[in-house]
């Protein structure tokens, strides 16, 4: 799934006019889209210098922070929606960030590559780590420090004491509600405290 | 990073006189004063492209460009401001104003007190960041500039920019607050106090009226500058630049000698290490041009700045009046105005749901980084000004 397709699929879940915090916002494309198309406002959080500049260049508010250091700068329930799109797999303290996402936002939307998607399973059955459009890296040079499955996140949410408002898969831009753990390359959870 | 082939930006210092008394935070009033200033670029027809650049401790209104008759007279932020630079004078009308109490042209302690007919000396009223901002606003009034596209400053200049946003919120479109802080912490005040004591206890200080005695408290100024300079650099940069190198060894190497290099002199008072030589040089240079009373005044203005004070220490409430958009920048190795102090500003602005971006530049140069040419830093500032330029009506 291309970044843009994922972006639009997630953007549909963000209410118009929402105050949004986008954790690991990259070059700010998502917030830019939400601002222009859905009248949203908010901030991105990003660590990479080039991305920070890209956000500023496109008029997206960005706060340069290391997510591993937490979200202490943001107050409880100060955003309608907190986005964590393809961020979870880069974080050492994924559980803390999940908790923080739900603390800072009334709703958190978490999206990440589902390792249990069937082509990945097939690859592992053949004895090889998958290299796909969704997980395009070789095992030895991937920026993802962890892989997880759609089913895994349900368990982690429960263990973290978070409510799952909705969960589904995304595949080729379509919502997958039947057997998403098998059938979807991307897992999406809407969570709340 | 303009090439030397380009026509340099020519700066012209101007002065503006003010008859109307300026009420100060202390309750005192400054009468009959003047402000030195410079402008660069052209004010557009709607007067909407003005950017005020506020200076820090030892700088002035000479922000950018060179003076026509002095080839090596670049303004203190010339690497940031000029044609095609991050703050592009082809698009913006940039204003630098020398603050009251300074020693670079605006009314200061070396000028004549209208009541006594002799130099103000230590009778020059204690001025604050807020007083400076008020004085700057009056100058802009005369220039016919009601609203600034942006106000920008580093360090103490950043404090002025921040003060602008709450004192004159309707007059500021954007604020760029760089390597600054919402107030000084105890350690910072302590450094300032050591510097002030060095000056005040110099026998040539004469209670601040040294002008009458035809002397300058240079010893005090030198030490004040040496202390200040240490705090502007990072541990790493100082070690990289000087390490433990001996001055005599450095001199010998410079002459091409590689054998029989000198050892310790076993002296307590001679310059032994390179860092000592560097600090003494910086101190000597500073004492030649800087005014002792100005140093006292400006460090005090730094100490006193604390917009949250009248809100019980609540910076969020202090900044609630601000309506402009913000760019806050800090540098990872700046321990004089550390990133966490900038984050306090960001946090308060987030609390107020203000438009703010924050860049924390991983640069090795300590506090001085805000004056240097780091491409990530310049890139962020340039992109931010590009955005401001898009908002401006011609």
Condensed to tens digits (0 to 9), the pLDDT of residues B275-330 reads: 999 999 999 999 999 999 999 999 999 999 999 999 999 999 999 999 999 999 99
Residue B138 has pLDDT above 60, yes or no: yes
**A111-133: average pLDDT:** 94
User: How many Cβ pairs closer than 8 A exist between chain A and B?
Assistant: 53
Report the chain A residue with the minimal C-alpha distance to residue B388: A59
Q: Check residue B241 and report its DSSP letter.
A: H
Asked if the C-beta of A144 comes within 8 angstroms of chain B's C-beta atoms, the answer is no
- Chain B nearest C-alpha distance from A109 (Å): 21
Partners of A57 on chain B (C-beta within 8 Å) are 383, 386-387
Distance in angstroms (rounded) separating the CA atoms of residues B202 and B245: 31
Residue B24 has pLDDT above 60, yes or no: yes
> What is the structure's pLDDT at B71?
84
What is this structure's pTM? Answer: 0.95
Distances (CA, A) of B210 to A38, B119, B203, B206: 66, 10, 9, 5
Question: Which two three-digit tokens encode residue A33?
Answer: 């889209």
> What is the structure's pLDDT at A1?
46
Partners of A52 on chain B (C-beta within 8 Å) are 357, 359, 380
Among the options B155, B180, B234, B342, which is catalytic?
A: B155
Contact indicator for B216, B278 with CB cutoff of 8 Å: no
Residue from B176, B324, B350 to probe the interface with A (highest A Cβ count within 10 Å)? B350
Mean pLDDT of chain B: 96
Residue B363 has pLDDT above 60, yes or no: yes
Condensed to tens digits (0 to 9), the pLDDT of residues A84-119 reads: 999 989 988 899 999 999 999 999 999 999 999 999
Asked if the C-beta of A49 comes within 8 angstroms of chain B's C-beta atoms, the answer is yes
Decide if B380 and A53 are in contact by the 8 Å CB cutoff: yes
Distance in angstroms (rounded) separating the CA atoms of residues A106 and B76: 47
Percentage of residues of chain B with pLDDT beyond 90: 94
Residue B4 has pLDDT above 90, yes or no: no
Decide if A63 and B376 are in contact by the 8 Å CB cutoff: no
Contact indicator for B22, B134 with CB cutoff of 8 Å: yes
> What is the structure's pLDDT at A2?
56
| Angular region, B217: left φ>0, alpha ψ -120 to 50, beta rest | beta
Percentage of residues of chain B with pLDDT beyond 70: 98
Told to judge if B36 belongs to the known catalytic residues of this protein, a careful annotator would answer: no
- The dihedral built from the CA positions of residue A133, A134, A138 and A142, taken in this order, carries a sign that is positive
Told to judge if B78 belongs to the known catalytic residues of this protein, a careful annotator would answer: no
Among the options B334, B342, B365, B368, which is catalytic?
A: B334
Asked if the C-beta of A70 comes within 8 angstroms of chain B's C-beta atoms, the answer is no
Look-up: residue for tokens 């890139």? Answer: B379
> What is the structure's pLDDT at B3?
46
Contact indicator for B39, B45 with CB cutoff of 8 Å: no
Q: Which SS3 state, helix, strand or coil, does residue B197 take?
A: helix
Partners of A59 on chain B (C-beta within 8 Å) are 387, 390
Enumerate the H helices of chain A as residue ranges.
3-11, 29-38, 49-57, 94-104, 118-125, 150-159, 180-183
Partners of B327 on chain A (C-beta within 8 Å) are 56
Residue B2 has pLDDT above 80, yes or no: no
CA B337 to chain centre: 13
Residue B166 has pLDDT above 60, yes or no: yes
Told to judge if B4 belongs to the known catalytic residues of this protein, a careful annotator would answer: no
Helices (H) and strands (E) in chain B, counts: 11, 14
**B204-224: average pLDDT:** 97
Condensed to tens digits (0 to 9), the pLDDT of residues A32-83 reads: 999 999 999 999 999 999 999 999 999 999 999 999 888 999 999 999 999 9
- Chain B nearest C-alpha distance from A2 (Å): 27
Contact indicator for B35, B15 with CB cutoff of 8 Å: yes
Decide if A73 and B384 are in contact by the 8 Å CB cutoff: no
Among the options B122, B131, B367, B368, which is catalytic?
A: B367
> What is the structure's pLDDT at B6?
62
Nearest to B8 by CA among B89, B87, B86: B89
Condensed to tens digits (0 to 9), the pLDDT of residues B81-131 reads: 999 999 999 999 999 999 999 999 999 999 999 889 999 999 999 999 999
**B243-255: average pLDDT:** 93
Provide the β-strand partners of residue A169: A176, A187
| Res. A146 pLDDT band, cuts 50 70 90 | confident
Decide if B360 and A19 are in contact by the 8 Å CB cutoff: no
Decide if A74 and B384 are in contact by the 8 Å CB cutoff: no
Task: Please give the ipTM for the structure prediction.
Answer: 0.94
Partners of B376 on chain A (C-beta within 8 Å) are 49, 53
Mean pLDDT of chain A: 94
Distance in angstroms (rounded) separating the CA atoms of residues B363 and B365: 6
Decide if B387 and A59 are in contact by the 8 Å CB cutoff: yes
Decide if B376 and A53 are in contact by the 8 Å CB cutoff: yes
Residue B5 has pLDDT above 60, yes or no: no
- Chain B nearest C-alpha distance from A26 (Å): 14
Interface of B with A (CB under 8 A): 327, 343, 346-347, 350-351, 353, 355-362, 376, 379-380, 383-384, 386-387, 390
Highest average pLDDT, of A144-158, B249-263, B312-326, comes from B312-326
Residue A6 has pLDDT above 90, yes or no: no
Decide if A57 and B376 are in contact by the 8 Å CB cutoff: no
| Res. B1 pLDDT band, cuts 50 70 90 | very low
């Amino acid at each position: 799934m291309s970044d843009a397709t994922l972006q639009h699929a997630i953007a549909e879940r963000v209410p118009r006019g929402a105050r949004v915090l986008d954790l690991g916002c990259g070059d700010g494309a998502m917030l830019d889209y939400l601002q222009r198309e859905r009248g949203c406002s908010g901030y991105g959080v990003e660590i990479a210098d080039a991305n920070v500049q890209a956000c500023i260049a496109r008029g997206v508010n960005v706060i340069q922070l290391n997510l591993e250091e937490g979200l202490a700068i943001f107050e409880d329930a100060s955003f309608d929606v907190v986005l964590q799109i393809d961020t979870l797999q880069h974080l050492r303290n994924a559980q803390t960030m999940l908790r923080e996402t739900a603390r800072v936002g009334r709703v958190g939307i978490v999206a990440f590559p589902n390792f249990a998607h069937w082509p990945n399973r097939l690859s592992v059955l053949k004895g090889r780590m998958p290299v796909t459009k969704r997980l395009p890296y070789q095992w030895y040079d991937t920026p993802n420090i962890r892989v997880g499955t759609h089913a895994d996140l349900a368990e982690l949410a429960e263990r973290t004491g978070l409510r799952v408002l909705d969960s589904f898969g995304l595949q080729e831009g379509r919502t997958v509600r039947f057997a998403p753990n098998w059938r979807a390359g991307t897992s999406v959870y809407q969570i709340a405290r | 990073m303009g090439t030397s082939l380009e026509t340099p930006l020519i700066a012209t210092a101007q002065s503006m006189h003010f008859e109307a008394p300026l009420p100060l935070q202390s309750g005192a009033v400054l009468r009959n004063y003047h402000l030195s200033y410079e402008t660069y670029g052209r004010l557009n027809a709607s007067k909407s492209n003005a950017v005020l650049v506020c200076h820090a401790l030892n700088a002035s209104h000479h922000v950018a460009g060179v003076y026509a008759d002095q080839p090596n007279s670049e303004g203190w932020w010339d690497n940031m401001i000029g044609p095609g630079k991050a703050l592009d004078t082809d698009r913006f009308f940039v204003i630098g104003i020398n603050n009251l109490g300074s020693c670079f042209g605006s009314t200061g302690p070396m000028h004549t007190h209208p009541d006594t007919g002799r130099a103000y000396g230590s009778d020059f009223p204690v001025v604050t960041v807020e007083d400076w901002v008020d004085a700057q606003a009056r100058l802009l009034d005369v220039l016919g500039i009601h609203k600034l596209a942006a106000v920008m400053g580093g360090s103490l200049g950043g404090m002025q920019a921040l003060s602008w946003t709450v004192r004159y919120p309707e007059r500021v479109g954007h604020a760029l607050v760089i390597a600054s802080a919402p107030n000084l912490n105890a350690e910072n005040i302590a450094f300032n106090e050591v510097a002030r004591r060095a000056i005040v206890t110099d026998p040539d200080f004469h209670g601040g009226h040294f002008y009458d005695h035809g002397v300058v408290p240079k010893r005090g100024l030198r030490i004040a500058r040496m202390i200040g300079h240490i705090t502007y650099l990072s541990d790493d940069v100082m070690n990289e630049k000087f390490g433990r190198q001996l001055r005599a060894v450095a001199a010998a190497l410079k002459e091409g000698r590689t054998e029989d290099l000198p050892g310790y002199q076993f002296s307590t008072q001679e310059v032994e290490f390179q860092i000592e030589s560097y600090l003494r040089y910086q101190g000597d240079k500073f004492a030649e041009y800087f005014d002792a009373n100005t140093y006292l005044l400006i460090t005090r203005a730094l100490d006193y700045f604390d917009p949250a004070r009248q809100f019980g220490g609540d910076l969020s409430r202090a900044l609630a009046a601000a309506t402009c958009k913000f760019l806050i920048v800090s540098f990872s190795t700046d321990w004089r105005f550390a990133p966490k102090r900038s984050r306090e500003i960001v946090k308060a602005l987030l609390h107020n749901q203000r438009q703010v971006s924050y860049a924390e530049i991983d640069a090795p140069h300590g506090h001085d980084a805000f004056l240097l040419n780091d491409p990530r830093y310049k890139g962020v500032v340039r992109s931010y000004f590009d955005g401001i330029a898009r908002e401006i009506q011609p």
